[in-house]
Each structure stands twice: as C-alpha cells, then as structure tokens.
Amino acid sequence: MASVHSGAGASQPGPSSRLPTSTPDDPSSSSATSSTRPLATRVRSVLLQGPRDANDVRKALNTLAQMYPTPNTPPSSSTDNHIAAKKNKPHEQPSEPLHLVDTARARRDLDKDIRQRMLSATDDIISVLQTVDRGLVRLSDDVAAMHTSCDAVQAKLRAAEESSRYLVEHAEGLEKQRAAVLTQAQVLKLFLSRFTLSDAERASIYSREVRVGEDLFQAMDKLQRIRSECQVLLQGSEGTTAVSGGGGTRAGMEIMSATAQDLDQAYQKLYKWCSFEFRQPVKEGLEVSPSLREATRRLKHARQDLLRSALTTLVQTRSSILANAFMSALTTGAGPPTYLPGPIELHAHDPLRYVGDMLAWIHQTVASEREFLTALFDEKEGEGGRRIGQRRRGLEGSLDLTSCADPESLLLGPGEALVREVLNSNLDGCCRPLKLRIQQTLRSQEGSVTSYRLAHLVQFYRSTMDKTIGTRAGLSRTLAEVAEAAVGGFAETVERQRRGIERWDGVVEEGLGLPPPLVATMGTLKELTSEFSRSIADETHGVDHSQITPPERENVTASLTNFDFVLVKLVDPLLDMIHRMAALHIAKRPRSKPESTAHWESLLFQFVCAIGADDPGFF
C-alpha cells in the first residue's frame, strides 16, 4: 500500500508546482491568462478532465485529506470511514463529501513528505527485495545443487546405459536363445513321442502287474516302427556326419540300443508268459486265446530260440498230460457223469478190440493235438500246397504232390514244421505204453488168424500215421516197430502151426477120415485167404496176375501183402503130412491085410484129403 500511495502522490504534483502549469488541451488558455490567474487555469484544467481520471483524482484528494486534514476534521475517523466505504463499496460513489485539505500545510510539507514516504517505501522495497534476493540466492544454490544432482544422475544414467547395453544385448540374445530352445523343446517333445515309449507302454513291457495283451503287442509294434524309421535316419545321416559332428548318428545308435533292450525285454516277457501258459492243461475242444496265438507268432518270427525253449516246456507238459490221459483211458475210462467209454483194458480178452481201441484213442489224440497246435501256430488247413482231404506232409516233408504244377508248394513252411515237430514230441509219452501193451497182446496170441488181423490192424494205423505225421515221427517209428512185431508174431504162429503139422504122427483112421491137423489148417487157410483178399483187394487192383511167378521156398518171408509165406509154411507141410500118413499106413498095415489093399487105402486116403481140403463138409 505504501508504494501505491507514494505512486499516486508522485503522479500528482504538489500545489506549488501545479499552479503555474497550464493545460495544453485547453484551447482557450493563453500565455496572459496563465501568468495572471494560474489557480483558475489549474482548476479549470482539473475540472475539464475526462471521467476516466475521476477516480484517480478522487483517490489523490482522499490521500491529501488523509495526509493534511483540516483541524476541524478528525483525520483518523474520516479517513477510516472513507477507506471502509471504499472497501465495502468500491464501485459506488462515496455518499459523504470529501474532507477538506489543509492547503497551506500541504503546499509546505508535500515534497518533504512525499520524499520521506518514497524513501520509506524504497527501504521497504529494498528489504523485501533483499529477502527475495536471499530467497533467490538460496533458490540458485538449490538449483545449482539440483543441476549437480541432475548431472550426477545423468552421468549415472549414461553409465548405467553404457553398462546395461551389454545386458540388453545379452537379454536379447537370451530371448532369441529362449525362442530357439522352446522350438527345440517342441521338436524334442515330438521326437521323443515318436521315437520313445510312453510310461504306459513301458509299463506294459517291464511291469509284472500288466498282463500280456494288446497293449504289449502295440508297444512292440511301435518299437519295430521306431527301429525301421531310425534305420532310415541313420542311412540318411551318413552323408552329413562330418558336418554335424555325428550327433544324429549318435542319437540314432542310442535309440537303436534302447529299443533293442526294450524289445528283448518284451520278448522275454512273452517267453515267460508262454512258458507259464504252456504249463496249464489244455482241455479238448478248448480254443487257443488270441493273445497266446499272437505271442507265439511273434516269437516264431523274431526269437526262435525263446520259442523253442518255451516249446520245450509245452512238450514236457503235453507229453506228461497225454501219457497220463492214455493210462487213465486204459485203466479208468471216462470220468463222471457218464463214465463212458469204459476202461480200454476191460476188453483185454478181445485182442482185436483191445488193440483197436488203443490205436483209435491214439489217432483221436493226434487229431485233437494237431488241431491245438495248428491253432497255436496259426496255421491254416490247405497251407503249403495241401488241399482239403489230401495227405499231409510228414516231418521230412514227404508229400505226394507229384502232379503239382508249382514246385514251391512242395516246400514245408516253418509253421507246419513246428507243428510236426511239437506233435511228434508230445506223443512220445504214449509210445512206450502203447508199444508194450500191443507187443504183450501179440505174444499172447496162438491163432494165426487173430495174429494176422492184429498185424493188419497195426499196419493200417501205421500207414495212417505215416501219412499224417510222417515216417520220421516217433509214433510212426513205434508203430513201424509194432507192425514188424505183429508180422513177426503172425509168422511165429504160422511157424508154430507148421511145426505142429510136422510133428503129427497120427495114423489113418479106419474110415479114412480127415486128420485133425488137416481140418484145422484148412479152416485157418480159408480165414487167412478171406482176410488177405479183403486187405489187398484195393492194392492189387489192375495187377496182371499172368505175370505172377510161383514162390521160391528159400527166399519167402512173412508179409501181409504176400500170401506165399502162408502157402509155403502150411500147404507144403500138409501135403507132406498126408504123404507121410499114407506111407505109414502101408508100412504099419496088419499082417492080415495085403499090401495092395493098404496101397489102395492110402491112395483113397489121399483122395479123401484132397476132396476134404476143397470142401470139408463133403464127408
């Protein structure tokens, strides 16, 4: 406020200075008027001012009134009321008239007071400016400190930027490496999913709790696919080994090694499971499970050594089971509820039925066992060139297909060979008891007809087995030995009968009747002839009988297809016996009987024997 008041006072000159001053805007003023009446001129110039300066004039007058009040007006009250009125109503005209100014005093003291006020205001301004200056100095110091701090921060920022440049570049490199690693991780995940086994697949191979089934077979198929694809990769990486450093080859070799170990473990599991399953008894008519068939097929194609070891267990089990079943069929027969058929040895008194039942049981067992093995090895009927109803190949591959146009169809497949081999081994347990009982039955026979029938029966089953399982099979060799023993037994009975005929020392009866050896032998010959005719009717079909030569006595041997042995061993001794009896009848005639009569009786006896041999009922 001091500065404003002083400014207002300074802008308005004092009375001493304003009175002689003329207003240039007044057109009616003149040099004479200004020199004679200066106050009137001044008042006129004040009164002639525009309304724009009225407020300034009013303020100046109020200031003068406050500074130089008249003695009748209290300066403080009037001044205070005027100031309050100005504050309350700054835009309104004062309602009270202006106070009077002590003009004389104002003229005398105005310059001095104005200077004092100006000096006082100047001092106040200087003190204020000093305060401002001190503040500005402090502000300048603060700004300088701030500049220093900013420079330090800027230097630190530049240093940090310089030092972090490598970090940023390193971070960018790491980000690129991270993206590359993520890509490699995805590729590696796909690679592992394609070239390695999952946990479930590994559990199907290594876990004992997971049974052999489709999961294991699928895992093995995947391992085979992995190995085949890995071999392709190894072949393709041979040209890039020098460039890549051999990483692909090393990975391929590791995959091949790991898959080989997994495959070996899978085959070991198949082998152990098959060995366990082969120990279980297989009932007749029971189908082979698909899992067992598939496991056997995989071992057959990939691991023949493990399959043969498992088949050893199968052979031991089946051989024991079949031997026990054969002994049970001989002694106890079928089980409950029907107990039919009964024990085979129940008919031991009937040699033909006894031997026939044993051979029929063996033949049926061979058929059922072959069906089981064919299902186990997944072999189809008709495979390898054999047609339905045609003779099977034996172990040596002897199959009568001479008219076959394809020579490769004569080859024996590996599956068929395994069927023959295992079938041969499974029946080994039945061979010895069968052989002993048939030989015992053959040795107990005294009649040549029964011996011939037994020999023919054994020979029939022998030829059947030769066509079914081959001549090299153990059962076929056993039946061959039994057939030879049967033929030998037949020859022994014929030889025994021949010796009986040769030892006969009887004489001609009074009525010239047929001797008992002749009657018995002729009955035997008729039965043997009938049996022989039936047995070789098909074999001698189309044979030219005009080319048949008479038998040679020195080279004749017992045979089921050649009747010369019977003729030589029985007919010739009969003729010798008849001639011997006729000669003995003449030699031992009574003295009362003439020699001629005895001679005629001997001739008649020979005639009777000849007629009786042709028709024993004639007499």
State the pLDDT at residue 58. 79
Q: Which of 82-91, 137-146, 500-509, 578-587 has the highest mean pLDDT?
A: 137-146
Task: Report whether 572 contacts 579 (CB < 8 A).
Answer: no
Q: Backbone phi, then psi, for 69, in 5-degree steps?
A: -70, 160
Residues 515 and 491 in one domain: no
Residues 530 and 470 in one domain: no
> 3-state SS of 365-427?
HHHHHHHHHHHHCCCCCCHHHCCCCCCCCCCCCCCCCCCCCCHHHHCCCHHHHHHHHHHHHHC
Per-residue pLDDT for 360 more than 90?
Answer: yes
Judge if the upstream peptide bond of residue 616 is cis by omega within 30 degrees of 0.
no
Task: With residue 440 as reference, give the H or E element that holds it.
Answer: helix 428-443
Q: Which of 70-84, 215-229, 240-254, 277-291 has the highest mean pLDDT?
A: 215-229
Residue 308 lies in a domain: no
Residues 355 and 481 in one domain: yes
Q: Could you tell me the pLDDT band of residue 447, with boundaries at 50, 70 and 90? A: confident
CA distances from 512 to 480, 583, 606, 608, 611 (A): 47, 14, 9, 7, 12
**Among 40-54, 217-231, 391-405, 441-455, the least confident range:** 391-405
Mean pLDDT, the chain, as a whole number? 77
Per-residue pLDDT for 178 more than 50?
Answer: yes
Residue 224 lies in a domain: yes
Q: What is the pLDDT of residues 91-110, one digit of tens each?
A: 444 444 556 777 888 788 88
Choice between 569 and 204, residue whose per-residue pLDDT is larger? 204
Per-residue pLDDT for 3 more than 60?
Answer: no
Residue 518 lies in a domain: yes
Q: Which domain holds residue 482?
A: 313-390+413-501
Q: How many whole angstroms separate alpha carbon 329 and alpha carbon 345?
A: 9
- Mean pLDDT over residues 32-51, rounded? 70
Q: How many whole angstroms separate alpha carbon 556 and alpha carbon 564?
A: 7
Q: How many whole angstroms separate alpha carbon 91 and alpha carbon 567?
A: 178
The residue from 83, 114, 131 where one domain ends is 131
Residue 304 lies in a domain: no
Tokens of 224: 């085979």
Residue 28 lies in a domain: yes
State the pLDDT at residue 105. 80
Residue 105 lies in a domain: yes
Burial (CB count <10 Å: 0-12, 13-18, 19+), residue 293: middle
**Among 142-156, 240-254, 578-592, 602-616, the least confident range:** 240-254
Q: Backbone phi, then psi, for 550, in 5-degree steps?
A: -65, 150
Tokens of 182: 């993520």
Q: What is the pLDDT of residues 61-92, one digit of tens each?
A: 788 788 788 776 554 444 445 444 444 544 44
Q: Could you tell me the pLDDT band of residue 458, with boundaries at 50, 70 and 90? A: very high
Residues 439 and 497 in one domain: yes
Tokens of 426: 């499974």
Residue 420 lies in a domain: yes
Per-residue pLDDT for 225 more than 80?
Answer: yes
Residues 458 and 530 in one domain: no
Choice between 352 and 341, residue whose per-residue pLDDT is larger? 352
Choice between 371 and 282, residue whose per-residue pLDDT is larger? 371
Per-residue pLDDT for 461 more than 90?
Answer: yes
The residue from 501, 527, 561 where one domain ends is 501
Residues 360 and 496 in one domain: yes
Task: Report whether 556 contacts 568 (CB < 8 A).
Answer: yes
The residue from 131, 147, 167 where one domain ends is 131
Q: What is the pLDDT of residues 566-617, one digit of tens each?
A: 878 787 888 888 888 778 777 777 777 777 877 787 788 777 777 765 555 4
Question: Alpha carbon 37 to chain centroid distance?
Answer: 135
Residues 375 and 513 in one domain: no
The reported pTM is 0.64
Residues 436 and 475 in one domain: yes
Q: Tally the domains of the chain.
A: 4
Spatial CB neighbours of 562, under 8 Å, sequence gap ≥ 6 = 556
Per-residue pLDDT for 272 more than 90?
Answer: yes
Residues 497 and 508 in one domain: no
Q: Could you tell me the pLDDT band of residue 274, with boundaries at 50, 70 and 90? A: very high
**Among 49-63, 128-142, 190-204, 561-575, the least confident range:** 49-63
Residues 209 and 94 in one domain: no
Residue 512 lies in a domain: yes
**Among 244-253, 436-445, 585-594, the least confident range:** 244-253
Per-residue pLDDT for 365 more than 60?
Answer: yes
Give the chain's largest Cα–Cα span. Answer: 248
Residues 32 and 70 in one domain: yes
Residues 470 and 514 in one domain: no
